[in-house]
Amino acid sequence: MDMLAKMKTVFMERFGDKKTRAFFSPGRVNLIGEHTDYNGGHVFPCAISLGTYALVADRDDMKTNVFSVNLADKGIIGFEMSGLKHDATKDWANYLMGVVSMFEEAGHKCSHGFDIAIGSTLPGGSGLSSSASLEVLMAVILNEAFGFGLDMVEMVKLAQRAENVFVGVNCGIMDQFAVGMGRKDCAILLDCNTLEYRYSKLALENASIVITNTNKPHSLASSAYNVRRAQCEHALNELREVRPELKALGELTNPEYDKLAGHISEHLERQRARHAVYENQRTLAAVKALENSDVAEFGRLMDASHVSLRDDYDVTGKELDTLVELAWQQPGVIGSRMTGAGFGGCTVSLVQNEAVEAFKANVGKAYEEAIGYAPSFYVASIADGTHRL
């Protein structure tokens, strides 16, 4: 627990000698099912052992002071625990403020503030959900401190609302759900339309999940994420002219979509919608393969997912494509694809254990030659969701 030991020292320096509680909130990696969550489809994420730690002490006033070990240059950021509005000068603290605001809006009013030290082992802006990790962390801290008695799914919804309404990123539910509801050694098959979910044991035999960071940061709010979302919504509205009962693209099978696609007037929007439909079906097929112990088929579907994200959804870019194409050439790689929103961030690869070291060496060297800087590798273990330590 090196991070916690470091944070204890930092907490003492910044806030003095106070009795603290410790919390952990994981990041997440999505194994398959990308850009399906806001299209009412299925996703298959898992919580990972990289994540966000917090040390929390109660205050006897309505002010909260937060300090991040990773963003020490931002100093201590303070905010009131009531009546909050988004404030760009408060930088990363807006994720925490948004949660406080959404709790208040839902009738869960805080009666005091906190001193909080935050430390993260997640690379920021990498597509491993550092923002959702922070949001669900704050939700769990508030729920426990004030005895609101909310269950995790309710907290997850408030955390997503904080990102949508307060931060202004129109994300689906997947990130916060995976972070909050994670379970050790399992991935979650989640229907984003109904929030029905089930855990699926990740029996990867002798393989590991290797996350490779392009080290090209992406910013969701300023990326084309909201544009893709609008394109899918427009395509759905055109399909509703002939199928009025259709609530989401994720309700369609591939043959149904192929039959209806001509009703979408824009070629580009047809491609976006095709990805949403086909990726959803791929996700269901991939989980079935895994549950039938067909890891090779799961890997093949991961590869197909990347191709669709590259060609139909156009969210990959040179760095991600380079990493994935290099991975496909390596012995011992079962499957590889981009994960997260795209435009930078990370890939996820299933790699046979005996090939992991060679994979890191070969992909690292070739990527640096092609792109001009090195990627970073993380071998992820699958963790429980946000909890008090």
31 CB neighbour count, 10 Å cutoff: 27
The CA–CA distances, whole Å, from 245 to 37, 191, 228 equal 19, 18, 23
- In three-state secondary structure terms, 91 is helix
Strand-pairing partners, residue 52, are 25, 120
DSSP state of 194: T
Which backbone phi and psi does 151 adopt, to 5 degrees? -85, 170
64 touches 70 (CB < 8 A): no
- Contacts (Cβ under 8 Å, ≥6 apart) of 377: 210, 211, 212, 213, 360, 364
Residue with the two structure tokens 């044991």? 201
Euclidean distance between CA atoms 182 and 202, whole angstroms: 12
Distances (CA, A) of 242 to 206, 248, 258, 259, 265: 48, 14, 14, 11, 13
DSSP annotation of 89: G
- Rounded to an integer, what distance in angstroms lies between the CA atom of residue 100 and that of residue 110? 8
The yes-or-no answer on residue 61 being catalytic is no
Kindly name the residue from 37, 115, 175, 191 that is annotated as catalytic: 175
DSSP label at 123? P
Which residues carry out catalysis?
A: 175
